[in-house]
């Protein structure tokens, strides 16, 4: 991600906490959504990470951020985040 965005999400001082959510989608866009009478499928999922304690960077252009795979951005995770 761009260094500016990284810095916007990083550190303390926000009234409303910030998290980074990355949504993965199929490489071929047409595979993203499929629907039938039984179900509607949006392929792949979102992952979240808090950059609150992330270190400052000397990169001028972009920064690579690791997101743990267990941080799936689902209903459960959102509930837990809202209660923190």
Partner 1 sequence: MKASIRDEATLATVVPVDTAAYLRTRGWREVDRKDLLYAVWVNSFAAGDFEILLPLDRGFRDYTLRTAELLSTLELAEGRSQLEILRDISTTFADVIRIRAQHEASKDGSLSLQGGVSLVENARELLLAAACSTVSKRSYFPTRKPDAALHYVEKLRMGQTERGSYVMTVQSPVPPTLQGALFPDEDLPESAEPFERQVTKTLMRAIAALREAADESAATGDIRPFQEAVPLGVSANLCDALVGLQEGTDSEWLEVGMSWAPARHMTASTIQSRVRLPREVSPVLQEAGRIFKQVAPLEEITLQGFVTDLHREDSRTGTITVSAVVGDRFRKVRVDLDAGDYDRAISAHRERLPITCEGDLVREGKGYALKNPRSFCIQREED
Closest approach of Cβ 42 to partner 1, in Å?
28
- 84 near partner 1, rule: CB under 8 A: no
The interface region with partner 1, picked from 14-22, 28-36, 49-57, 70-78 by CB under 8 A, is: 14-22
Instruction: Count Cβ atoms below 10 Å from residue 49 Cβ, excluding itself.
Output: 17
Rounded Cα distance between 14 and 9, Å, is 9
Closest approach of Cβ 37 to partner 1, in Å?
37
Identify whether the C-beta of residue 48 lies closer than 8 Å to the C-beta of residue 77. yes
- 4 near partner 1, rule: CB under 8 A: no
Q: Where are the beta strands (DSSP E) in the chain?
A: 20-23, 33-35, 40-42, 46-49
- 15 near partner 1, rule: CB under 8 A: yes
Nearer to partner 1, 15 or 29 (CB): 15
């Amino acid at each position: 991600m761009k260094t500016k965005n990284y810095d916007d999400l990083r550190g303390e001082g926000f009234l409303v906490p910030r998290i980074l959510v990355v949504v993965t989608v199929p490489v071929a866009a047409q595979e993203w959504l499929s629907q039938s009478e039984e179900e509607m499928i949006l392929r792949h999922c979102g992952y979240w990470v808090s950059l609150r304690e992330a270190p400052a960077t000397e990169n001028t252009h972009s920064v690579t951020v690791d997101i743990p795979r267990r941080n799936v951005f689902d209903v459960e995770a959102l509930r837990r985040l809202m209660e923190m």
